[in-house]
Structure 1
Amino acid sequence: MGQGMAHEKAIEYYSYTDYLHWEGKWELIAGIPMAMSPSSVINHQAIAGKILNELMNSIGDCEKCLVLGEEDWKIGNDTVLKPDVVLICDEPNDQYITKAPEIIVEVVSQSSAKRDEVFKFSIYESEKVPYYIIVYPGDCKAKLYRLENGIFQTRRLL
């Protein structure tokens, strides 16, 4: 390269259309594909299942609300997340989630910790998710965040 020419990195940028053709479990964050673990450990699935069940029981017969596990949330053409558990209300789309869930729960694994605590935390906060719960199965703890004035505040460590 000649002097004054910028060195460019070859970075692949993907969209929702690309995402639809991928096999396996993926998330797409700002055009960057992120592989999810091939299969969750039994403890991860058991905890997510119990939380899903508790949330389902808590909404009772509400016809506007749904509790889902590992459902696509299309935030934009270059960002699709698959939270472990969500509570959604008044969702107009039946193919994927289109607006911020009321509650998101992520069960942290060793391979997902940074994604859940940093990247997803930031996205969920900017998308104005009212409640975000991060569960740490190895420590038998959870962090509950509540959105207050556009910023997640730690409400308690469960």
Structure 2
Amino acid sequence: MSFNPPTYTYFDYKNWKGEWELIEGYPFAMAPSPVSKHQLLMSRLVQYFNNELEECECDSYPELDWIINEKTVVRPDVAIYCEEIEKYPKTAPKIVVEIVSDSTANKDEEIKFKLYEKEKVEYYILVYPDFEKVRIFKLKNSKFDKVFEGDGVFKFDICDIKIDFGKIFKKRRQ
């Protein structure tokens, strides 16, 4: 006898209490409010991105639901969109940032990695607070290719954004 767990839709999702993501119909409970290290890095990343995007038509959004379809709704830690958004985005973000913790590592490194690749996100950034490093993947020929790993400066080809990840982590250590 096999067990097939039920699947859900956006209609179900929007009526749930608590914090959830829905990936291909399967619900993922989000942990309680992230720890201070996660929140601090997320706010610094948003600040750095916003500073870099001042002369660009793109904006950074922390924790904004991305409704991909009726069976998939995710909430990236930070997403960069280059379109005007009224309520929720209708296209893939240019850049997605996920801050990886022990409880989210599998979802961020495997499930969301494949999802964001399939949805054609141009850059996927995994931030590792405990190791004070990032891994950056760029979409090339419909596949993510790792283009950077570490805590230094990386320049994106979107609006000439340049982020010094070392400063983001260093400031936290002071």
Matched, 1:94 2:86: yes
Equivalent residues in 2 for 1:122-137, closer than 5 Å: 122-137=114-129
Counterpart of 1:155 in structure 2 is 147
Counterpart of 2:77 in structure 1 is 84
Which of these residues, 12, 15, 24, is aligned with residue 30 of structure 1? 24
Q: How far apart in 1 are the matches of 2:23 and 2:12?
A: 13
Letter in 2 for 1:126: K
Q: How far apart in 1 are the matches of 2:109 and 2:83?
A: 27
Equivalent residues in 2 for 1:116-127, closer than 5 Å: 116-127=108-119
Q: How far apart in 2 are the matches of 1:98 and 1:41?
A: 30
TM-score w.r.t. the length of structure 1 is 0.91
Equivalent residues in 2 for 1:6-85, closer than 5 Å: 7-62=1-56, 64-85=57-78
Instruction: Give secondary structure in 1 for the equivalent of 2:130.
Output: helix
Q: Which has the larger radius of gyration?
A: 1
Q: CA RMSD in A?
A: 1.2
How far has the Cα of 1:94 moved from its partner?
1.7
Name structure 1 gaps, 5 residues minimum.
1-6
Q: How far apart in 2 are the matches of 1:18 and 1:8?
A: 24
Runs of 4+ in 1 over 4 A off after TM superposition: none
Counterpart of 1:113 in structure 2 is 105
User: How many pairs does the alignment contain?
Assistant: 150
How far has the Cα of 1:10 moved from its partner?
4.5
Instruction: Give secondary structure in 2 for the equivalent of 1:139.
Output: coil
Q: How far apart in 2 are the matches of 1:65 and 1:49?
A: 17
Counterpart of 2:158 in structure 1 is none
Q: How far apart in 2 are the matches of 1:31 and 1:88?
A: 25
